[in-house]
Chains A and B, each alone.
Chain A
């Protein structure tokens, strides 16, 4: 349905969507471990619509800006990638245009780690959570907050159709300092247990 919006400016921070959610194999979805909440919602268009893998349903906010999606984990987790599905053609003025991503230990000490601007996005928007430093491939946090600061065409409320959050896979062999990459190591690392694919 959606195609990459060609000719759109793709400066750092300005994103359009892509049709497919392309995620590396060594990442896995973390959402199941989290408690999700939103600042406000219209009845029938609440949190479940954000997580139901159905791009037809969406979350619609119902209050003042900024609209917030809060993702809270029980322990500190490493997060690497955020995927947000929005659709300008369907949602027009409900489409978010400026999103701020914050992380912290709780509501009291959230700190902004990233801001992205969306320009007529259609499809999945990949937001890497790393800092500019390659050392910070992940953020290590208890809570993530996605704040919709403004919408296209100055809309008040916003629609987001799906959100996915990714972090690294744990080492299949527990208690090891490093992951195993070669085939021999991986073959011998478990007995018929599920193990990671080797990097070719």
Chain B
């Protein structure tokens, strides 16, 4: 009865019938209380978006998978400390992190959000070691700014460490009888089964051993749905790739899990790989909202690589992406001492050799893709935007034209202040992938800068209709209001975005900018600090803090903050100019000039550093040089009133009232705002005084 119930629960889960699953699972737990069943129950609740329930059920449980699921629930409920203790108990510093790569990834996320970067980095790296295809871990490393070269990380050598961790255990079950029939395709069968079995060492251990060596008919029945659905060719959302490798027909390793996990490291290197779990990867994305797409695309690739050859269920011809299955297929047989059922015999050897061959090919292609994407992402996190763009262009066309890649490219153009290009790319993104939300916040800022209020409000409306609960939609809305100078409404919208996802750093930054626009500097500072707490490398917030301090005339602080921003993004000419401005205010004009010159070189199209340079030169009384710079600037930007006004001022100081008059007049013709009009006019008045004095004499 138990296996029947478990099977039903699993199949309900894979079919998204949560209520059914929860109900049956509760009956299961009532009838056969065991930690394994509790884990299944927790899974049901996690799938149903009720992490608190899973938390309650698994509190205190010590099995590896339980600890992992418990930590996951804690993470979703933002109880980071408990998550940490579950994954890495304080009094057992050397205990194995449950769930291999995924466990390390989750732990890394916990450390990241509690501000311990080094530890976070270690764990993400470890996750990558265990599973070289773990894109999310690499992404996190990039975000921390600490990723190593993608060519290193995803080079072909690591393909030996790639194994299929599939939830194909079930499929293997189904293979019982039929496996003999197929030869080549089946080699993989054994592998998944083996892997599954190994997994099951890790995972929910097999259910009552008695039912393990199940007669084939039952095992056919019990083919857990998750793999079946996969077999049907659709790539199920990662969440559905069940972690619960059914122990059904879990021939073999009905070994108690804890032992297995602890034993794992001692096994051969290759076995270790097998102990990774798909489920971990499934739950890996921390930003469930924003990274969903990445996760999906990442996992889609891996799931595609999972071959499923199966018997009873649909046959899916293995694609070329045969992961190097179990080169160590020999090893599993070692592990599965007792458990091996008749199906396994005879398979391991042959399948091992064969699968290895084809497996490596598939991995190589996947690694090739990941190398490009990884390198591109790494460079974009280091703000080496031009380089990143070049890297992305190396992708094959059909990969380039996907939502994730295009939105990354769009963001790169945004960082390069090439707003027209960015607009074009983001527009393309929306057409290619209308539901892609990641990066749309940057798009809304691009439209804000281009002053396209129609497009911006349209974007905001669309995003909200796609997903009312996404922070990007509300950021876009906020930008809309901000463009219309309604800073209070803008602020409300950004705060809404924060409420929806407090880990979305950009929303905090935008809030900060709105506060500054409303001249509420204290709140602005607070918001920027919040943003930095979420993501220390959000240079925009450092910049925002610098601007606030500049306004408050706390020049030392301003310089410090601009420098932090500069350290993160050393290519932005705007940051360099501002740092120069701050240094100039601190009277460190030589350093200021150095930076300003760098800024001029960094971006020829940016007029600001040249203007700043003129300012600095004026205060250094190098009037002729200043005039030279300004004349250059006129060629570049002929309709800028402030340039002429400054020139007028310089000529006045050089005691050439005629030229001064000319330039002041030009400045006024360009209709500056009223404050400047007043300043210029009073300057003109003062110009005339010497003439009047002469006249009266």
Contact = CB atoms under 8 A, between A and B. Distances in A.
Most buried by B among A26, A187, A188, A191: A191
A111 to B, nearest CB: 20
Interface in B669-684: 670-679, 681-682
A-B pairs, top 3 by smallest CB distance, nearest first, are A178-B642, A194-B517, A182-B640
A184 B605 contact: yes
B642 A193 contact: no
Interface stretch (B256-264, B322-330, B348-356, B543-551): B543-551
17 contacts: A134-B678, A135-B678, A169-B673, A170-B519, A179-B642, A179-B675, A180-B640, A181-B670, A182-B637, A184-B640, A188-B417, A188-B574, A188-B606, A191-B572, A192-B448, A194-B513, A196-B673
Contacts of A9: none
B225 interface: no
A135 B585 contact: no
Interface of A: 24-27, 33, 78, 80, 134-138, 168-171, 174-182, 184-185, 187-194, 196-197, 199
B641 A181 contact: yes
Given A187-B417, A191-B575, A193-B544, A177 B645 contact: yes
Contacts of B487: 194
A188 B642 CA distance: 14
Interface string B504-521: 000001100110110100
A185 B642 contact: yes
Contact of B673 (A136, A179, A184): A179
B380 interface: no
A168 B540 contact: no
Contacts of B646: 177-178
Most buried by A among B646, B672, B675, B682: B675
Contacts of B605: 184, 188
Contacts of B641: 178-179, 181-182, 199
Contacts of B485: 25
Contacts of B517: 193-194
A191 B674 contact: no
Interface of B: 417, 419, 445, 448-449, 451, 482, 485, 487, 509-510, 513-514, 516-517, 519, 540, 543-544, 547, 550-551, 572-575, 581, 585, 603, 605-608, 611, 615, 636-637, 639-642, 645-646, 649, 667, 670-679, 681-682, 685
Nearest to B678: A137
B113 to A, nearest CB: 24
Contacts of B482: 194
Given A137-B674, A174-B547, A174-B550, A181 B513 contact: no
B389 to A, nearest CB: 19
A117 B517 CA distance: 36
Contacts of A193: 513, 516-517, 543-544, 547
B46 to A, nearest CB: 36
A148 to B, nearest CB: 28
Given A26-B674, A171-B675, A199-B673, 17 more contacts: A80-B674, A135-B681, A138-B674, A138-B678, A175-B581, A176-B615, A178-B679, A179-B641, A179-B676, A180-B642, A181-B642, A182-B639, A188-B417, A188-B606, A192-B449, A194-B513, A194-B514
Contacts of A137: 674-675, 677-678
Contacts of A187: 417, 419, 449
Contacts of A184: 605, 607, 636-637, 640
A110 B585 CA distance: 36
Contact of A177 (B607, B615, B674): B615
B607 A185 contact: yes
Contacts of A135: 678, 681-682, 685
Contacts of B679: 177-178
